[in-house]
Structure 1
């Protein structure tokens, strides 16, 4: 312990200042060497109070983003049906279509095919449409037997000698193409029969489709042709345009069967339209073929309005 009495002395570490010696060590703040020191030791400096702890800023949870509203269905189109019974599609992890913000964690979206229901009615199946078309072909064939029978008999009488001569030429090792037709009327009679057959088909199908949307075959199979936008009668002009896309190829049967090929392509075209099953002649007339439920008849004058569309789904 030092024998130096307590008092103010020059600071050995900094001679330009003086500090208070309490007998054991230097205390207090240094003051200038020329300053008059206070009597006794320097006052004890109070330590500043600790700064109050700041509360953490409250965290706000962003409000959940609501998915966009589904678009309204077209006027007159019925509600979506439930998934087919027993149908179990593969699970697909990912965002639901239409959700903003990219993939949503935790979503497990499983799509399933939904078939449109024009005006609340299911689309007609391809099987019933094929059977209805075959029944209509049979009906038109019966009309041709009655009306076109005379021309068919005359054609056969003109063609039979040429056919026999061709068979004799083949039997003798000659070419059947070298045989000249016995009469020039065969080509004319063939074109007359094709034109008459076309007119009979037109008169059979277009007026019935224009007024009720049903030919004999469609009526038996309980299917009907309706417009895309409403269920009013199509009218003859629209029905004629629908028939013409298919029926006007009939005279071209005489061109090496080219017209028949075009009609076959048109007839199978619904296979390539997975949405509305429209054939090419349906797309031309903006029509669809619907199936009528049992014991129910689609009103011919039913109109679609905004009230129907509001409750269609």
Structure 2
């Protein structure tokens, strides 16, 4: 039966330790005497009390040495990183490192990519157009039929629609915007995402806290998004912001302290 892997007295040099990988000796050696460590050369049997070894019987050689002292990274192990150990392992439930900010929340949940978010937003646009259009047509009936009649009858290409007609168009657009605002606030607050996000496996959450973002964050997020749509350049900047943002947040995410994450 092969001796377990560990540091043992070097059979070639009594002043050294040599690492036994469980099958054969490796080229990794270390002097027994360590500067500033009084007990660094203590006999392995006294330090650890483990008898035996591949060279047992040669004046207590073959005793496992430093398996606790050298077996873990960061505890005076002169060969950490040379024996298959990694200098860092993510702790379950721990916080992501700085290099993970663009891909994960602080507690490790993966962030949605830009195209993934765009796909969800396109689906939501269809939902809002259908539902909002029905509501707007009920509250401001016949506006687009009247606008079409005016456009077909106008003889001057530079002519402006009548003020009354433009007022009705503005009312129709306002109803559509209100429907979109209410739709997003209610869906995000109650289930963590709009229909588009639910269908594409995305959710909205607070960046530093898992679960539903709450009514306050949902309200702020939707309000900033809707207001950005008033001025096209600001809206475009808001939509594109996650492409270069270090936390993949749009401007409305930053205002509400939220992130869009992937659930599947």
TM norm structure 2? 0.59
CA RMSD of aligned residues (A): 3.5
Tell me if the contact between 1:223 and 1:291 (Cα under 8 Å) persists in the aligned partners: yes
* Structure having greater relative contact order (Cα 8 Å, sep ≥ 6): 1
**For residues 69-148 of structure 1, what are the structure 2 equivalents within 5 Å?**
78=95, 115-118=102-105, 119-148=107-136
1:265 aligns with 2:252: no
Matches within 5 A, 1:218-297: 218-250=197-229, 252=230, 259-273=231-245, 275-293=246-264
- The number of residue pairs the alignment matches comes to 184
Cα 1:288–1:113 change in 2 (3 A) is closer
**Which runs of structure 1 show a deviation greater than 4 angstroms over 4 or more consecutive aligned residues?**
60-63, 76-80, 112-116, 150-153
SS of the aligned residue for 1:230 comes to coil
Question: How far did residue 120 of structure 1 move?
Answer: 2.1
2:184 to 198, 201, 205: 205
User: Which residue of the partner structure matches residue 163 of structure 2?
Assistant: 184
Structure 1 residues 284 and 113, CA gap change in structure 2 (3 angstroms): closer
Query: Which whole-Å deviations, capped at 9, do the CAs of 1:26-75 have from their partners, x for residues lacking one?
Result: xxxxxxxxxxxxxxxxxxxxxxxxxxxxxxxxxx9689xx9xxx9xx9xx
- d(CA) in 1 for partners of 2:101 and 2:211? 26
Q: CA deviation at 1:164?
A: 2.8
Query: How many angstroms apart in 2 are the aligned matches of 1:116 and 1:234?
Result: 19
Contact 1:225–1:289 (CA<8 Å) still a contact in 2? yes
Residue in 2 that maps onto 1:96: none
Whose radius of gyration is greater, 1 or 2? 1
Question: Cα distance, 1:200 vs. partner?
Answer: 0.4
1:160 aligns with 2:134: no
Counterpart Cα distance in 1 of 2:112 and 2:148: 45
**Unaligned stretches of 5+ residues in structure 2:** 1-33, 38-75, 77-86
TM-score with structure 1 length normalisation? Answer: 0.50
